[in-house]
Amino acid sequence: MVPVSEALERAKATRDARGGRVEGRSAFDALAFSGWAPETVNGRAAQIGIVCGLWRQYTTGTGFVTQAHDHVLLFAAVLAVVAAASAAPSFLGKTYGGDPKSKKDVGIFTARKEMIHGRLAMLAIAYEVYAELSARGVTAPF
């Protein structure tokens, strides 16, 4: 049996840049292009956005582009709150650095599923915007 203190030291020594807090690693490393934060934050914001956007579209009939135009400050506030909540462990955590892959899976809640759901939400928003613009007769610029 390995003592807890020794196990913690081994775990600390074997963490890589994608894991929890590592001495000498800046919390801003997560924001790099190859870091975990950009896709995670955008995916989480997109999950909130697609649910709220579809609900508002269902209840009021306004499309995504109209909603984005009319509620820019709300959009920015949601993005800021999601970014702050996602980055908080990187700035404040001692053992968990904020990367979802460094956290232990809990039942059906896994980092892989969160990433898939975030990507699907981003694609759904892109499709909704494309569908709305196509219905208005606006052609894609590419």
User: 66-107 pLDDT, tens per residue?
Assistant: 998 899 999 899 999 998 888 777 777 666 666 777 777 788
As a three-state string, the secondary structure of the chain is CCCHHHHHHHHHHHCCCCCCCCCCCCHHHHHCCCCCHHHHHHHHHHHHHHHHHHHHHHHHCCCHHHHHHHCHHHHHHHHHHHHHHHHHHHHHCCCCCCCHHHCCCECCECHHHHHHHHHHHHHHHHHHHHHHHHHCCCCCCC
Residues 47 and 87: their CA atoms lie apart, in Å, by 17
Residue 120 has pLDDT above 90, yes or no: yes
Tell me what pLDDT residue 106 has: 81
Distance CA 79, CA 142 (A): 27
Report the share of the chain in percent with pLDDT over 90: 32
Question: Are the CB atoms for 45 and 114 separated by under 8 Å?
Answer: no
Q: Return all residues near 89 (Cβ < 8 A) that are at least 6 apart.
A: 96, 97, 98
Q: Which of the given ranges, 17-31, 89-103, 107-121, has the highest pLDDT on average? A: 107-121
- With a cut of 90, say whether residue 5 has pLDDT above it: no
**C-alpha–C-alpha distance, residues 141 and 131, integer Å:** 14
